[in-house]
Amino acid sequence: MMLAIPLIAWLIGWHQSTAVVLITALLAGALLMGIRQRSLSHSFLSPFLDKKTSILLVASVRTDPVLGQPKVMSGYTRPATTTMLVTAISVEVNKTLYKTHLPLRFTTPQQIHFLPGTVISCRGIVYSTSEKRVAGLFAERGVITALHGAGTIGLISGAVRSDYRAVATRVGGDAGALMPGFVLGDTSLERHPFVVDMQRAGLTHLTAVSGENFVVIAAFMMWFLQWFITRIRIRLFINSLVLIGFIFLVHPSPSVLRATVMVAVVLLARARGQKASAMPALGLAIALLILLDPFQAIDPGFALSVGATAGILLFSQPVTTYLTRYCKSEKIASLAAISISANLICMPIAVAISGEFSLTSLISNILVETIVGPVTIVGFLAAILCPFLPSLSYIMLLTQKPLTAWVCIVAKISAKVPVIAISKGFLGAGIITLVFLCGWITLRWRSWA
C-alpha cells in the first residue's frame, strides 16, 4: 500500500527522483524488518516456546528493570512483576549449549536492580509473546545470579543516578520525585497516581529524555564555553564529549538515540563551517536508527519523539507568526507555538495509541513549556555535582522545586477534566487529523475573507 503512490509517481514521470528515493527506502526497510522478524520467529528457541522446558539463560541486561502494577484478572489479583530487555549470550536446553545473540523479554516476580550491561544467569521457562522485537518471554524460575557488573561506565552512571535519586528524595513530594525523570528519565520515585495524572494531562514526555533535553544542554554548553574558549571547533568537541557522557548517564532509548544522531549531524556541520538544515539532520537520524534497528519504526515513543521534533521544525515559525497578530509578546507567542507545533503531529499518534483525546493536553503543555530549560540545565549540573557535593546539589534542586511543583499542579488539575474516547489505530488518528484540517481551513478561510 505504501509503495503504490511512489510507484505511480515514477511510472507517470512525476518527481521521478523523489519517487526512486521513496521506493528504495521502503524496500530497504521492509527487507530489514522481514529478515529480523524471520530470524526471531524461527530461532532455535521456537520449538521450546510454551513447552515449559526449563532452560539455563546467560544474558546481558539491556534496559533498566521496571516494576509494573498488580493486575486484577477474573477476581484474582496478579502480583506485580519486574520486566526488562536482555540479550541472550548462551542458552542451555536439555544439556545442549547454544551460543546466541537473541533479544528476550525477561520477567520476574522479584524486585531487582541491575544496571544495563550487567551479565546475569538464571533458570526459567520461555513463552511466546506478541512483542515483535524479542524472540520470546523468559519467565524466571530460580535464583538470579550476577556473573559480572556493568563495566566502569555503567557503574559510574549508575552511581550518579543513585546519588541523584537520594538527593531528589530529600527534596520530597511529587515535585522532588519528578526531577530525576525530568533530567535523567528515571521515573522510579514517581507514585502511580501521579503517573496517571501526567498521562491524562499529556505531560508524560517530560519524564522521558528527548531531543529537547539535548538541545537545551548543547545550547547551554555553547554559551558557557564561549567565555573561556574562542575556537568554535574546540567548543564543539567539548560539547560532543559532554553529550556523549549524558547519553551514558540517561541510558540509550529510542528518543535519546534519535536526538543524539541529529545533534551530532548539526555539530559536525557547524565544525565544517556549513549551515546544517534541521530537517535533513532529522531525516538522517531516522534513517540511521531504523537501519540499525528496524523495530524502532513501530516503537510508540520513537514515533512521538520524531513527530514532536518534526512538528516544531515545520510549524513553529508559521504558528509564531500567526500568534503574534494577537499576542503583543513575541517570546510568549514563540513558547506557545512550540507546544502547538509539537501537538499538531503528536496528537494523532497519541490518539492512535491510546484511543483517548485530552481536552487539556495542549493547554497543559503551553503552561509548563517555560520551565523546561531552567529545570533541565540546573538539574543536569546538580546531577554532575551530586557525587562530590551532595549538599550543593540539594540546594540547586530546592531552587527548582517551585517549577516542578507547578508541573504537578497543572497535571493534577488537567487530569480531572474528562477525556474523549476515540477509536484506536488509523481511524482515531484520521478523525483527529480531519479535525485539525478543518480548523486550519477555517482559519485560512477567515484570512482569505
Percent pLDDT > 70 in the chain is: 92
| In 355-415, alpha helices (H) | 361-368, 372-385, 390-415
Rg (CA), the chain: 24
155 part of a folded domain: no
Residue 352 has pLDDT above 80, yes or no: yes
Residue 108 and residue 29 share a domain: no
**Residue 134: half-sphere exposure toward Cβ, Cα within 13 Å:** 22
Residue 327 and residue 179 share a domain: yes
Residue 169 and residue 97 share a domain: no
Residue 187 and residue 107 share a domain: no
More confident residue, 85 or 442: 85
Condensed to tens digits (0 to 9), the pLDDT of residues 255-314 reads 677 777 767 766 666 666 655 567 787 787 788 888 888 888 877 777 877 887 788 778
Contacts of 192 (CB under 8 A, 6+ apart): 69
Residue 186 and residue 113 share a domain: no
Among 122, 149, 176, residue at a domain's last position:
149
Instruction: Return the CATH number at 130.
Output: 2.40.50.140
- The band of 90, judged by pLDDT with boundaries at 50, 70 and 90, is very high
The full DSSP string for 201-256 is: HT-GGGGS--HHHHHHHHHHHHHHHTTT---HHHHHHHHHHHHHHHHHHH---HHH
Q: Span 195-218, mean pLDDT? A: 77
Tell me whether strands 66-67 and 82-93 are parallel, antiparallel or unpaired.
antiparallel
Residue 204 has pLDDT above 80, yes or no: no
**Residue 208: half-sphere exposure toward Cβ, Cα within 13 Å:** 23
> How confident is the prediction for the chain on average, in pLDDT?
83
Residue 100 and residue 30 share a domain: no
- CA 380 vs CA 307, 363, 407: distances in Å: 25, 27, 18
Query: Of 156, 158, 181, nearest to 168 (Cα)?
Result: 181
Please report the pLDDT score of residue 113 as a whole number.
83
Distance, in Å, from the CA atom of 98 to the CA atom of 274, rounded to the nearest integer, reads 50
Find the domain containing 410 and state its range: 160-448
Please report the pLDDT score of residue 121 as a whole number.
94
From the number of C-beta atoms within 10 Å of its C-beta (0-12, 13-18, 19+), residue 276 rates as middle
251 part of a folded domain: yes
Number of domains in the chain: 3
Helix, strand, coil shares of the chain, percent, nearest 5, are: 60, 15, 25
Among 149, 179, 210, residue at a domain's last position:
149
Amino acid letter for position 399: T
Percent pLDDT > 90 in the chain is: 14
Q: Could you tell me the three cell numbers for 109?
A: 516476580
Please report the pLDDT score of residue 397 as a whole number.
92
Query: Of 440, 446, 439, 408, nearest to 193 (Cα)?
Result: 408
Query: Of 124, 128, 146, nearest to 137 (Cα)?
Result: 128
Please report the pLDDT score of residue 405 as a whole number.
92
- CA 69 vs CA 83, 110, 173, 195, 349: distances in Å: 11, 13, 21, 12, 25
- CA 236 vs CA 202, 233, 250, 278, 415: distances in Å: 34, 5, 21, 17, 42
Chain centroid to CA 291: how far?
A: 18
Residue 169 and residue 109 share a domain: no
Residue 117 and residue 189 share a domain: no
Residue 80 and residue 70 in contact, taking contact as beta carbons nearer than 8 Å: yes
More confident residue, 254 or 401: 401
Whether the CA torsion 370, 376, 377, 379 is positive or negative: it is: positive
Q: Could you tell me the three cell numbers for 118?
A: 550487567
Residue 359 and residue 316 share a domain: yes
Helix (H) or strand (E) holding 353: helix 330-354
154 part of a folded domain: no
Residue 363 has pLDDT above 90, yes or no: no
Distance, in Å, from the CA atom of 334 to the CA atom of 338, rounded to the nearest integer, reads 6
Residue 368 and residue 205 in contact, taking contact as beta carbons nearer than 8 Å: no
Indicate the pTM of the whole model. Answer: 0.75
Query: Of 161, 248, 189, 220, nearest to 375 (Cα)?
Result: 220
Whether the CA torsion 254, 255, 257, 258 is positive or negative: it is: positive
Residue 175 and residue 84 share a domain: no
Residue 174 and residue 135 share a domain: no
Among 105, 122, 149, residue at a domain's last position:
149
Query: Of 234, 184, 231, 237, nearest to 207 (Cα)?
Result: 184
HEC per residue, 139-158? EECCCCEEEECCHHHHHHHH
Residue 107 has pLDDT above 90, yes or no: yes
Residue 419 and residue 336 share a domain: yes
65 part of a folded domain: yes
